[in-house]
Amino acid sequence: MLNAELLEHTQVEKAATIFHRDGFVLIQDALTPAQLEFAQSGSEREIARQMKRLPLEKGNRGYARYSF
């Protein structure tokens, strides 16, 4: 099981340290609801574009695998 610490958005130095160590970091409330909605709608749009141009069986790293 993943044992990851959830940080507050104010814990910048600790977040940077964890990111450099693990390659990712979990930050609670990093986006406002409006920012999250904006990011989600953009992601959904780009996913739909990629899937329209490239069928599931031709994903760039195997079946149904796409990347941004």
Structure tokens at 66: 């796409």
Do 15 and 7 touch, CB atoms closer than 8 A? yes
Please name every residue paired with 65 in a beta bridge, in sequence order, or none if there are none: none
Structure confidence at residue 53 (pLDDT):
80
Output 34 or 1, whichever has higher pLDDT. 34
For 18-68, what is each residue's pLDDT tens digit?
Answer: 999 999 999 999 999 999 999 999 999 988 888 888 777 666 666 666 666
Structure tokens at 5: 């610490």
Do 8 and 28 touch, CB atoms closer than 8 A? yes
Any idea where the domains of the chain sit in the sequence?
6-58
Q: Which element (helix H / strand E) includes 19?
A: helix 12-22
Structure confidence at residue 24 (pLDDT):
94
Q: What are phi and psi of 62, to 5 degrees?
A: 120, 180
Structure confidence at residue 68 (pLDDT):
65
